[in-house]
Amino acid sequence: MPELPEVETIKNELLPHVLGRTITEVELFWERIVRQPPVNEFITSIVGKKITGVTRRGKYLFFHLSGGLVLVMHMKMTGSLLVNPSDARFTRAILHLDGGIDVHFWDPRKFGVMWLEKDESSVARQLGPEPLDEEFTPGLLAEILRKRTAPVKPVILDQSIIAGIGNMYADEALFEAKINPLRAAGSLSGNEVQRLHQAIRNVLTKALKKQGASIRNYIRPDGSPGTAHDEFNVAHGVGKNCPNCGAPIQRIVVRGRGTYFCPECQPQP
């Protein structure tokens, strides 16, 4: 699933192609990709509008349009946005822009969605803080985790608590912080919270520099893969050994999510 590093990469690499461009036509090959308003109204509302900006919040992309509307996109599990791809397989929608630019919403499993809002706030107010913002401090993380009895992994995956962290980066951050994913979130000591805070920021920053991770379906707007997965320590690591101690990486299920960890470096609570 595209997470913060992948969606931020899509935004950054898409911007030079779309900023200031006008939407001239919309083609839908999977009408259920549009959540709201009805399809005909959706199309007529955005055709002729200029893209004045593209921003990200959590795992959401916002295309700011002239006239005040915001086109919201969520890639869900397997979506990406491609610019003028040579192969249109798995394209579910195309935004045709002036200047010969076509943006394909590419989504093999048809989970991605897009819709219109008057502004970002209806989505943003449902999300927690951005983990790479200055406001996300160890103190804020301590307050977030305090008194929570749920395992720490699903807590940091909850988008209403912290925005943008997904399954693979949660595994990597917990490994770097040497915290077992089953630990009760509220049981972490001050030192462990500090380590987790630093690990979250380290893992996401490194992944951004590698343009995200292409474990399965994610690809960048030019069709090339990200390479962050090449440096994963535990995520999707069954059959591999811990780079620190050599113990076999284990996989368990935590609140329905496949979870990878080192049983020696991240001992059970």
Q: Which residues are catalytic?
A: 2-3, 59, 257
Contacts of 40 (CB under 8 A, 6+ apart): none
| Total residue count of the chain as it appears in this document | 269
Q: Hunting for tokens 């090449």 — which residue is that?
A: 230
Q: How far apart are CA 192 and CA 215, in angstroms?
A: 29
How many C-alpha atoms does 68 have within 13 Å on its Cβ side? Answer: 2
Number of Cβ within 10 Å of residue 222's Cβ equals: 12
Contacts of 106 (CB under 8 A, 6+ apart): 79, 80, 81, 82, 85, 90, 91, 92, 219
